Structure 1
Amino acid sequence: MTISRRQFVGGVAGSGIASMAAPSLSSAQAAGPVRIGLLAAKTGPLASGGIDMDLALTMYLKERDNTLAGRKVELIVADTAGVPATARTKAQELIEKNNVHCLVGPLAAFEALAIADYLTEKEMPTVGVAAAEDMTQRHPSPWFVRPTSTSAQCAYPLADYAAKDLKYKKIVTIADDFAYGHEMWAGFQRGFEDAGGKIIQKIFTPLATPDYGSYVAQVKGADAIFLGTAGANGFRFLRQFIEYGLKDKMAVIGGMTALDESVLRNMGDEAIGIVTTSWYSAELDNTPNRKFAPAFRAQFKYDPGFYAAGTYVAGAVLEAALKATGGKVEDKKAFMAAIRGSNADTVRGVVKFDEFGNAVGDVYIRKVTRKEGRLVNSVIKTYPNVSQFWTYDKAEFLKNPVYSRDYPPAKNLEQ
């Protein structure tokens, strides 16, 4: 795999970009382009998400004439293929060969964990998309922020909603068998059981599972099944779940990528009514999203979801930081400090970072409905200012192991 280069040659900066503390436009341009490296899984089982990451960040830059804070921007995209070793190799190429000033990405939790120490060693400002918990918990890096969420951050409100609003008592969970699936499942289990419910069965499936039939056959009777899936896995599982006649017997609810907008475009009425959770929906009614979602849909013929919004938000965070520093991206410490304090107004709302570099923001409970002939994730409830620690005491939370396949232990499994 090769790294593709895009040299964006745009017009002059728009009015209001440079602050009084910023250098003049000519001096900013003389400093050369800001080189942004994007780590995106554009091939492999997570390719749909990686492609959306590329499309949305490219779109963000083009909308601004490929100029941020008076400086031209060069976007260099590396395909990680959803493989940890490849993600590390590509990160090294971007930093040591292409001399990027900052990184966006990668997509998958296991990719982020594979490059975390290297990014800190190289003091590389990084705006993450992957949800790996410990990158903003027990092992935070001063060079990393995440404007999206941890794996479990959006699962807590869904667990609360399932127990208190939907009145579910027993739930079966099925999740992808890698870090993201483990952490999302664990957060959902903890939140649901703390709210009075029981997880009676947990099933983990390989990331590249072509046939879910054997797993569907194992599903026990419950009020609902929780999908902790990424990419197209939620769609493939749901299709076979319906073929086995189970959707008429139990409800389906899902994590933030289970029925992402990029997945919904391939589905039909079988998805209607399914409840999911996320920090974003293409249906959000705020000023940046009223522009972004229709523009993305007009260009690519489907709504933006988690992955597209993730890099579009990253673009806004980077732009706010560049404006705050007058475009002086070469001063890495000042630039990183500006990223952490950016409070950018984005398509998900205003992004605020906690002391660990993770976003604190609204989380939405969504229901699949049909609108103007297409399936959308309509917002039905908002949980405001959700922290990665939910309602738990932060100090006590961090004393425990990171969420995993076996932690916290499932105490209500039925044999």
Structure 2
Amino acid sequence: MAVLLASCGGQPAQGPGQSGGNPESPSGSSGGTESGSAAGEPIRIGLLVPLTGVFAAPGQYMKEGFELWLKEVNNQVAGRPVEVVTADTQGNPDVALTQARRLVEQEKVHLLVGPLSAAEGLALVPYIDGVRIPSIYPIVSADDLTQRKIPKYVVRTGWTSSQTTHVLGDYAYKKLGYRRVAIIAYDFAFGWESVGGFMQTFQEAGGKVVKVIWTPLNTTDFSPYLSQIPKDVDAVFASFSGSAAIQFIQQYKRFGLTAPLIAQGNTTDESTLEQTGPEAVGIVTALHYSAALDTPANKAFVEAYTKAFGHVPSYYSEGTYVAGLVLQQALEQLRGDVSDPDAVVKALRSVQLSETPRGPYRFDNYGNPIQNVYIRKVEQVNGKLQNTVIDVVQNVSQFWTYDPKEYLQRPVYNRGVPECNACGG
């Protein structure tokens, strides 16, 4: 049986000129897959996660989710042992690229899994495609990775930033009855795309967005931004994660704002929910997973995960666990042969899973999962906070209800797209 290898430590970041000039590995090999078909030899997987830095907490959840899958398959898939080398990206795109090069060129891994942030994921694409290393992105949600600029060797098993907020914008107008909202979110691509999905469907349904407030990524004091939120709105939509989500929610309540909060699902993720505290109660979010989802598959996953790690899983945990399930089915289809990176990618994108912790799962023609999106409400149950599922929208595409070809003619959601329809008054 193979063992879970120790983590690679962080290395000095290379500058763009050093890392981006020639993406090919020194040997010209296709991602270290020379012995990829050797029966009985280990399949080597490089796990890219932030274990230090601002994303260390969700990074740990990612690592735990993958470890649970590995434990459940007894470190073996398709008759071959599996070895995992975990590398700390520090949440830094330059470090992520340095670590990916180390895993491929020195550790000779056959596949990569990770990283966490969109910035890291986008930075890795030229290298991944250059060396032809099959890579699974379980968390990175940048819309265009499965829309206008699809990498050849990246398989996304997670979601797009706007996939769940398309649902929430429509739901906020039609089910929650909100007509006028203000928006506050991160001022970078993830914030723009999650806000864009919400604005698109909310405004199309007839809703009015009266204010959009962007906050810098490193914001800790939200009071200058909270003071800009109009008092005469039905609700406030927010998009944050990690420590920023904790600080935003706590400060929102303490600032005396009373409009209901609705949010992109990471804002109340289980990795930060208990730290956020009772201020989170009542927030409605949309995401493709909740640890409180009442299905046999999720109950079994939550029980096994909690037993192994002493706390409930988060979306980050479930993301890497499902990445393992997808990888397992693909490798079984290939009888463990990972020597041909194109065949590996094709097998990964063909996977359909009828039962996962998040529900049924299949890929669309562009390589993004079609999956359920859950409307969740933070509640305190038996003394603990949870994202109680209050509604389900089944089989949600990254294109929502739009025609994909027409959708792709539009620009990707950004700071000014779509336009705010009522910010002038």
**Residue 294 of structure 2 aligns with which residue?**
285
**Residue 223 of structure 2 aligns with which residue?**
213
1:378 partner letter: T
Structure 2 length-normalised TM: 0.88
The answer on 1:131 being equivalent to 2:138 is: no
Separation in structure 1 between the aligned mates of residue 176 and residue 80 of structure 2, nearest angstrom: 50
Shift of 1:232: 2.1
Conserved? CA contact 1:6–1:74, under 8 Å: no
User: Where do residues 80-119 of structure 1 align in structure 2 (5 Å cutoff)?
Assistant: 80-119=89-128
Match of 1:33 among 15, 19, 42: 42
Match of 1:370 among 361, 380, 391: 380
The total of aligned residue pairs comes to 391
1:245 partner letter: G
**Residue 30 of structure 2 aligns with which residue?**
none
What percentage of residue pairs aligned between the two structures are identical?
42
Separation in structure 1 between the aligned mates of residue 103 and residue 214 of structure 2, nearest angstrom: 34
**Residue 268 of structure 1 aligns with which residue?**
277
The answer on 1:59 being equivalent to 2:59 is: no
Conserved? CA contact 2:203–2:421, under 8 Å: no
User: Where do residues 14-413 of structure 1 align in structure 2 (5 Å cutoff)?
Assistant: 30-128=39-137, 129-221=139-231, 222-246=233-257, 249-344=258-353, 345-413=355-423
Separation in structure 2 between the aligned mates of residue 63 and residue 407 of structure 1, nearest angstrom: 44
Conserved? CA contact 1:29–1:70, under 8 Å: no
Shift of 1:147: 1.9
Separation in structure 1 between the aligned mates of residue 201 and residue 340 of structure 2, nearest angstrom: 42
Shift of 1:45: 2.1
2:215 partner letter: T
C-alpha deviations, 1:172-193, integer Å up to 9, x for none? 1111122111111111111110
Structure 1 length-normalised TM: 0.90
SS in 2 for 1:266: helix
Separation in structure 2 between the aligned mates of residue 396 and residue 214 of structure 1, nearest angstrom: 39
Shift of 1:28: 8.3
1:352 partner letter: R
C-alpha deviations, 1:43-83, integer Å up to 9, x for none? 22222111110111012101221112221111111222222
Separation in structure 2 between the aligned mates of residue 48 and residue 194 of structure 1, nearest angstrom: 37
Shift of 1:30: 4.6
Give the unaligned 5+ runs of structure 1. 8-26
Conserved? CA contact 1:279–1:348, under 8 Å: yes
Question: Are residues 72 and 290 of structure 1, via their aligned partners in 2, closer, same or farther at CA, if it must alter by over 3 Å?
Answer: same
Conserved? CA contact 2:162–2:194, under 8 Å: yes
Shift of 1:135: 0.6
Q: Which moved more, 1:307-316 or 1:221-230?
A: 221-230
1:146 partner letter: R
Conserved? CA contact 1:261–1:302, under 8 Å: no
Conserved? CA contact 2:247–2:276, under 8 Å: no
Shift of 1:209: 1.7
Question: Cα RMSD over matched residues?
Answer: 1.8
C-alpha deviations, 1:130-187, integer Å up to 9, x for none? 0011110001123222221100000011111110111101111111122111111111
1:101 partner letter: H
Give the unaligned 5+ runs of structure 2. 8-35
2:136 partner letter: V
2:159 partner letter: S
Shift of 1:117: 2.1
1:334 partner letter: A
Separation in structure 2 between the aligned mates of residue 88 and residue 178 of structure 1, nearest angstrom: 20
Separation in structure 2 between the aligned mates of residue 282 and residue 374 of structure 1, nearest angstrom: 12
Conserved? CA contact 1:38–1:76, under 8 Å: yes
2:75 partner letter: N
Separation in structure 1 between the aligned mates of residue 192 and residue 53 of structure 2, nearest angstrom: 20
Separation in structure 2 between the aligned mates of residue 35 and residue 325 of structure 1, nearest angstrom: 15
Q: Which moved more, 1:117-126 or 1:314-323?
A: 117-126
Separation in structure 1 between the aligned mates of residue 398 and residue 5 of structure 2, nearest angstrom: 35
1:235 partner letter: I
Conserved? CA contact 1:151–1:183, under 8 Å: yes
SS in 2 for 1:173: strand
